Amino acid sequence: MVRLGIHGLQGDISEHHTMFTDIDVHTRIILGPNDLKGIDGLVLPGGESTTINRLIQGTSLHSDISILIKKGIPVWGTCAGVVLLCKGGLFGAFNASVKRNAYGPQIKSCIRQKKFKGLDHRVPMVFIRAPKITNISTDAEVLAMAGEDIVAARQDRILLTTFHPELTPDRSVARYFIGMIPQ
């Protein structure tokens, strides 16, 4: 049984929990270092990246999560989680840059249906003040594009989605991430 941790200091925590519960994956909300023990994967959900950054830095979670990432635990960053995982972010583990709020204010939010590599259907993608992945290295794989923009990518055991899969009934991207976790 996969034990998945969801960073729980700020963001779409309950929505991620519901998404994984829908596909029968046990989740644990990560509020402190002890909550990280025994997890097989970690999700850094969407939210407000500056706030999440400050909250993580104010605890020992920063060093503990950094160690897990360096050890190769599968990690999925959605929206704000992308900002934390890319170069220049709090964890800087993914070899790409990111431009925050690349599509403008919240009023410019939208839903698009796009192809996601490895899935056999177009995935609904909810963009809310989404970041844009830029300057991606050749050791990363682009999984989805919206126009000219990279909206999903993978590097080893790190998955990035600039959109919010947890806000749709489609659970295919969640299943894709669970498939990244050794079982």
Which of 7, 16, 17, 79 does the annotation list as catalytic? Answer: 79
Residues 159-174, buried b or exposed e (16+ Cβ, 10 A)? bbbbbbbbbbebbbbb
Digits of tens for pLDDT over the chain (183 positions)? 899 999 998 888 999 999 999 999 999 999 999 999 999 999 999 877 878 878 888 788 999 999 999 999 999 999 989 999 999 999 999 999 997 666 655 656 667 889 999 999 999 998 887 788 999 999 999 999 998 999 999 999 999 999 999 999 999 999 999 999 998
Does residue 166 carry a catalytic annotation? yes
- pTM equals 0.93
* Residue 36 DSSP code: G
Q: How far apart are CA 44 and CA 66, in angstroms?
A: 12
**Maximum Cα interatomic distance, the chain, rounded to a whole number of Å:** 42
Which of 7, 16, 17, 164 does the annotation list as catalytic? Answer: 164
Does residue 26 carry a catalytic annotation? no
